[in-house]
Amino acid sequence: IYVNYLKKNKINLAKKYIDKLLDIKKDDYELLRDKAFIEYLNNDILLSDKYINKALNINSKDVFGLNILGLLYIKKQNILEAVEIFKKAILLNPQYSDSYNNLGKCYIDLEELSLAYLNFKKSYKINPNSELPLINIANILSLKDKNKLAIHFYEKAKKITPNNQHIDENIIICNVRLKNYEW
């Protein structure tokens, strides 16, 4: 039940049901990992950290769990540690696109735009049905004043998630930078 609530972005209901399961199975890896993810989504970094560390003590080779840990490092501004975690996840499963996308985000924070761009491209090649790497590729292009090309990638992302307001806002920003006021 909690997984379905997560998919519908009903975090509090997901939390309610996962807590009931954790009362029954206190040391279940997937429950601990998912609880960490739910707390991450709730912005409870301390609680999320507690659960992901407990989970990774059980299974340190799960890429989803490692990605949660890496995201927590990013939230705590420990970007270099996050980079190492995402690289470890990529070594364990080079086909998990989120690891590349998250690593790319770290490289943006480190102002390594070329490395960020390469990782977003890898993420997109693995999962062309995700709008996240497309948006991130477009963001990099926009930062490099390649606004026409950025718009192209934003529009590709918009085909995947048509009602994403952030994509629309970024397209507007690029058109303003291009002085394309007629758009």
Question: What is d(CA 37, CA 15) in angstroms, rounded to the nearest whole number?
Answer: 10
- Considering only CA atoms, give the Rg of the chain: 18
Supply the pLDDT for residue 7.
86
Question: What is d(CA 38, CA 32) in angstroms, rounded to the nearest whole number?
Answer: 10
Cα 140 to Cα 99, 101, 114, 119, 143: the distances in Å are 18, 13, 9, 11, 5
Residue 183 has pLDDT above 90, yes or no: no
Q: How far apart are the first and last CA of the chain?
A: 45
| pLDDT band at residue 1 under the 50/70/90 scheme | confident
Supply the pLDDT for residue 6.
87
Q: pLDDT digits over 27-78, tens only?
A: 999 999 999 999 999 999 999 999 999 999 999 999 999 999 999 999 999 9
Considering only CA atoms, which of 135, 132, 101 is closest in space to residue 119?
101
The pTM of this model reads 0.89
